[in-house]
């Protein structure tokens, strides 16, 4: 897919673009957590990693559209490395999103997310530091497990103010925005049925929220520079007054990597897209690429 870009000319449009950067990146973080979800994922807090390896590095371009005008809103990078957490082998996953220089002039945005997971994909720790429009917020979550229960201690601090604390326990597994991505990428979606609803629990830094995802099926998806992939298509939806509203449609590779290659976000004042820019040190070949 070729993206036509023009310079923004009106203050109103630029203001909307700045807000879109925030919406796009926040949604991007959330969508990454939903990839490859299994219907019974809440029944297990551990799984075998079969999708990624230490050293994987993925880059994305973020775009905003308003009335047929496209502008590049920023970049996002996702990296994974092996570490030791205490004396245990673990992975550290980092996700960084930042606005373009043009967008920074109107709405500065720098978001950094870090999670630590065990070698069986169980979450241990999560931190999100978000600088958005002159405000700085830090969310932290610590996970623990005992007697068949999952525990999450959450903390949120805004502009170095007084922290807000909460503690939650649940018989189901709880995840953060990055740990669910790491675990879910290894699940096999072979048995998914079109229209199937998938739900799970996510820690946000203040509370636990249930997310809803719908599997839409398979298709050939075009991204930047006319590249095409065989993909699995999912929709993140929300419910208001009993009505279902599609928030984002996203496309992941139909291969063992389960990488997101495109995300379409439906905003109140336009739309936004995220496209795979590059990937290196992926564990499996990208056999989903369509050639010819």
pLDDT in tens, 6-57: 444 444 444 454 555 555 555 555 555 444 444 443 335 788 888 899 999 9
Separation between Cα atoms, residue 102 and residue 35, nearest integer Å: 31
Q: What sections of 66-132 are H helices per DSSP?
A: 101-104
Q: What is the pLDDT of residues 148-168, one digit of tens each?
A: 899 999 999 998 789 999 999
Among 75, 63, 59, 61, CA closest to 4: 63
What residues contact 107, with CB distance under 8 A and at least 6 apart?
15, 17, 18, 19, 21, 22, 99, 132, 133
Q: What is the pLDDT of residues 77-108, one digit of tens each?
A: 999 999 999 889 999 999 887 777 666 655 56
And the tokens for 16? 């909307």
Radius of gyration of the chain (CA): 19
Separation between Cα atoms, residue 240 and residue 267, nearest integer Å: 15
User: What pLDDT does residue 105 have?
Assistant: 56
pLDDT at residue 172 above 80?
yes
User: Is pTM, for the whole model, over 0.75?
Assistant: yes
The average confidence (pLDDT) of the chain is 80
Of residues 214 and 30, more confidently modeled: 214
Percent of residues, the chain, with pLDDT higher than 70:
78
Separation between Cα atoms, residue 111 and residue 23, nearest integer Å: 12
Residue 13 φ/ψ, nearest 5 degrees: -65, -40
Contact of 148 with 171, CB cutoff 8 Å: yes
Bridge-based pairing of strands 260-267 and 243-253 is antiparallel
């Amino acid at each position: 897919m070729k993206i036509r870009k023009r310079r923004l000319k009106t203050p109103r449009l630029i203001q909307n673009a700045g807000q879109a950067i925030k919406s796009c990146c926040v949604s991007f973080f959330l969508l990454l957590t939903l990839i490859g979800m299994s219907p019974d994922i809440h029944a297990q807090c551990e799984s075998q990693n079969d999708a990624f390896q230490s050293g994987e590095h993925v880059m994305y371009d973020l775009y905003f559209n308003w009335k047929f005008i496209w502008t590049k809103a920023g970049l996002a990078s996702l990296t994974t490395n092996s570490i030791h957490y205490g004396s245990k082998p673990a992975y550290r996953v980092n996700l960084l999103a930042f606005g373009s220089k043009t967008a920074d002039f109107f709405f500065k945005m720098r978001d950094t997310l870090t999670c630590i997971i065990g070698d069986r994909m169980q979450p241990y720790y999560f931190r999100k530091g978000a600088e958005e429009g002159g405000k700085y917020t830090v969310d932290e979550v610590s996970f623990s497990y005992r007697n068949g229960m999952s525990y999450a201690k959450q903390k949120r601090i805004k502009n170095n103010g007084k922290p807000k604390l909460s503690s939650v326990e649940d018989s189901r597994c709880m995840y953060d925005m990055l740990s669910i991505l790491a675990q879910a990428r290894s699940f096999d979606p072979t048995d998914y049925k079109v229209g199937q609803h998938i739900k799970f629990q996510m820690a946000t830094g203040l509370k636990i929220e249930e997310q809803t995802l719908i599997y839409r099926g398979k298709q050939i998806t075009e991204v930047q520079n006319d590249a095409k992939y065989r993909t699995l298509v999912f929709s993140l939806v929300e419910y208001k007054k009993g009505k279902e509203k599609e928030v984002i449609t996203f496309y992941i590779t139909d291969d063992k990597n389960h990488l997101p290659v495109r995300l379409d976000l439906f905003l109140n004042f336009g739309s936004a897209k995220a496209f795979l820019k590059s990937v290196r040190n992926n564990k499996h070949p990208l056999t989903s690429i369509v050639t010819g």
